[in-house]
Amino acid sequence: MKFDVLTLFPEMFTPLTASIIGRASKNNYIKINITNIRDFSKDKHKKVDDTPYGGGAGMVMRADVVYDAYKSVATKESKVIYLTPQGKTLDQEKVKNLSKEKHIVLLCGHYEGIDQRVIDEIAPEEISIGDYVLTGGELPAMVLIDSVSRYVEGVLNKDSIQEESFSTGLLEYPQYTRPEIFYNRQVPEILLSGHHEKIEDWRKKKSLEITYNKRPDLLEKLTLTNEEKQYIENLKENKN
């Protein structure tokens, strides 16, 4: 999987050299290439933006500069994404689907935005990472790269993906490690029992319970077994 990022602030992407994503890049499971849009300015002062037609606050990124940067990396096969609060909100299903792409081009806006004509010309998919406004698309691009890369073969071990929050549609069960007692709090007895089936059952119930308590909206999207439905009903009536 290759990511090409188009940005005015390449230095913002150093966090991707650390931890799991950094290792995945080093081991060539993913490739992250950052292009500075400013390199495509034809202006002797390397100007990339200008005042908005019609007036108003801030600066707008020029269509020609952004388009040249885009042309330098995109091919017919590229999936092109523009990070914007106007886009569809990123969720785990979208993340999973994007992980099947071979090449993702991420266009990051800054200032008051990008000249609409280049957006119309490129017609990228528009993605938001939530209903709040950031100073630019750089953090959203990193969020997307991180979440999508986790599904790329070799980046994580397979069990981590299967058990995590959202992949099953449920939030994850709680985890514990040594010491066995911490400020008078015991690790749940069942986890020390070595009884794998019972542990699995306990974890499943905890997942249901946590999802019911913290994000009941997620349960509505799932097809639950009768046993799971009954467990939720009991939770509602405080019977478990």
The token pair at 170 is 């449920």
- In sequence order, what DSSP letters do the residues of 104-146 get, joined into one string? EEEEE-BTT-B-HHHHHHH-PEEEESSSS--SBSHHHHHHHHH
For ligand ADE, which residue of 1, 114, 129, 170 counts as binding (CB under 6 A)? 129
Write the binding mask 137 to 166 for ligand ADE: x where contact by CB under 6 A, - elsewhere: x--x--------------------------
Min dist CB 234 to ligand ADE, Å, is: 39
Min dist CB 138 to ligand ADE, Å, is: 9
Please say which residue, 95 or 129, places its beta carbon nearer to ligand ADE: 129
CB distance 153 to 165 below 8 Å = no
For ligand ADE, which residue of 7, 25, 41, 84 counts as binding (CB under 6 A)? 84
Min dist CB 112 to ligand ADE, Å, is: 11
| Count of CB atoms situated within 10 Å of the CB of 67 | 17
What is the phi-psi region of residue 34: left when phi exceeds 0, alpha when psi lies from -120 to 50, beta otherwise? beta
Instruction: Indicate whether 73 belongs to the interface with ligand ADE (CB under 6 A).
Output: no
Min dist CB 190 to ligand ADE, Å, is: 41
The token pair at 57 is 């606050």
Instruction: Indicate whether 130 belongs to the interface with ligand ADE (CB under 6 A).
Output: yes
How far apart, in whole angstroms, are the C-alpha atoms of residue 61 and residue 97?
30
Instruction: Indicate whether 30 belongs to the interface with ligand ADE (CB under 6 A).
Output: no
Residue type present at position 133: V
Orientation of helix 196-214 relative to helix 226-236, angle to 10°: 50
Min dist CB 133 to ligand ADE, Å, is: 5
Q: What is the dihedral of CA 54, 59, 65, 69, to 10 degrees?
A: -130
Instruction: Indicate whether 83 belongs to the interface with ligand ADE (CB under 6 A).
Output: yes
For ligand ADE, which residue of 134, 191, 210, 235 counts as binding (CB under 6 A)? 134
| Chain residues in the site for ligand ADE (CB under 6 A) | 83-85, 128-130, 132-134, 136-137, 140
